[in-house]
Amino acid sequence: MLTTIHELQLGTRNETVTKCVWLYAGHADINDATSFYIDTIAKALKGLGRRLVHVDNLGNIPSQADVFVVDCKHALALHLCRPRCRFWLWLQGIVPEEAELQRGSQLRKMYWTMFERRSIPRANGVFMVSEAMKLHYANKYNFANITVLTMPCVNQKLNHCSFATPLKYSSLRFVYAGGLQLWQCFDKTLDSYSLIKKSFPSATFTVLTRDRLKALDMIERRMVQGVSVDYCRPSEMQNVLAKFKYGFVLRHPHPVNAVATPTKVSSYMAAGVIPIMTTAVSDYAKRLAGIEPVVMLEKPEPQLVLKGVSRVESISLDQSAVFDSYSRAFEQYFDLERYVPLIQAFFLDTGMTVS
């Protein structure tokens, strides 16, 4: 779906640049966590006769063009250097608050607040990942009148075969997949598993992360037994997740978590893994209400985690019933295909032209 500027130059010499929508983003911004979202945007644009072309520097963007931008810093640079361009902005998180939470950096928070304040009102339209994010910006800057489309971050499709893994729901296999940033609550995850292990001695726990040394250090300092640490390529993740029953996604109440839509929730559920999560992720708490089995907790406290897991363990789970339940979550919320006509209508309503 997504085209690079090099591919455009080599393969489509006769294509006019007026058909292109330029994706202005660094190479690191196009990754396994963002590719599903961007491919969905590209598919919607293709239906309008437009082509999404990735560029990583302003010099490749015409002086007058339609541009899709992945953060406020890129958006402000575009506005200053290409003021005649129209742009649509994708906000994946609230960077000023992330800087303060993760790094304690007031300077970085100040700069990114300036980027937000100056770029968001100038966008033709803004893509946000949650309704909570929309409310955050309305309250923070009085940006109540900006035109917004909300679509969650998702990076996997529902896989029926994963639900049929032998012993999937009869063995207590826990998994954590992801980074170890402060907001990921990995310390609470370890404490929760340690408590679970005392009540369910057969339980196992696997941590899949790039930060192997940090994970091992945290495990050793907490003296948690029976934890294995490994790394899994994103392309292999769904096959690996298929063997697990539960997946941790604990979060503390904080604005950074409230506006987020962590991809690991949909990744777990796509593989039939039961998420252990908290209501701190506001949109998930609302959109997954009534979907079972899900361990949804008010706080990331080990005693509450144990209580939630014990509740599910008291139920006999049928693989087909779990698949049917999770299918509803994807049909109603996580399946990005359902957003394609909404995206097309959003682009047209905010000034995008059909080619």
Regarding whether 167 and 124 lie in a shared domain, the answer is no
The C-alpha atoms of residue 127 and residue 322 are separated, in whole angstroms, by 31
CATH code assigned at 345: 3.40.50.2000
Cα torsion through 98, 103, 109, 112, rounded to 10: -60
The predicted structure's pLDDT at residue 235: 84
Regarding whether 275 and 135 lie in a shared domain, the answer is no
The C-alpha atoms of residue 198 and residue 152 are separated, in whole angstroms, by 36
Regarding whether 95 and 180 lie in a shared domain, the answer is no
The C-alpha atoms of residue 336 and residue 161 are separated, in whole angstroms, by 20
pTM of the model: 0.92
Asked whether the bond before 293 is cis by omega within 30 degrees of 0, the reply is yes
- Structural domain tally of the chain? 2
Regarding whether 76 and 202 lie in a shared domain, the answer is no
355 in a domain, yes or no? no
Regarding whether 345 and 204 lie in a shared domain, the answer is no
CB 294 within 8 A of CB 182: no
Output the DSSP codes for 243-282: T-SEEEE---S-HHHHT---HHHHHHHHTTPEEEEETTSH
For residue 138, count CB atoms less than 10 angstroms from its CB and return exposed for 0-12, middle for 13-18, buried for 19 or more.
middle
354 in a domain, yes or no? no
The predicted structure's pLDDT at residue 145: 85
The predicted structure's pLDDT at residue 32: 81
CB 37 within 8 A of CB 43: no
CB 186 within 8 A of CB 252: no
Regarding whether 129 and 61 lie in a shared domain, the answer is yes
252 in a domain, yes or no? yes
The predicted structure's pLDDT at residue 6: 57
Regarding whether 197 and 91 lie in a shared domain, the answer is no
Regarding whether 314 and 341 lie in a shared domain, the answer is no
Angle at 146 between CA 140 and CA 151, to 5 degrees: 90
- Residue numbers of the domain that contains 101: 3-153+336-349
pLDDT tens for each residue of the chain, 355 residues long: 677 755 665 455 445 677 999 999 999 999 888 999 999 999 999 999 999 999 999 999 999 999 999 999 999 999 999 999 999 999 999 999 999 998 889 999 999 999 999 999 999 999 999 999 999 999 999 988 899 999 999 999 999 999 999 999 999 999 999 999 888 999 999 999 999 999 999 999 999 999 999 999 999 999 999 899 999 988 899 999 999 999 999 999 999 999 999 999 999 999 999 999 999 999 999 999 999 999 999 999 999 999 999 999 999 999 999 999 999 999 999 999 999 999 999 999 999 999 8
Regarding whether 177 and 226 lie in a shared domain, the answer is yes
Regarding whether 182 and 146 lie in a shared domain, the answer is no
The predicted structure's pLDDT at residue 2: 74
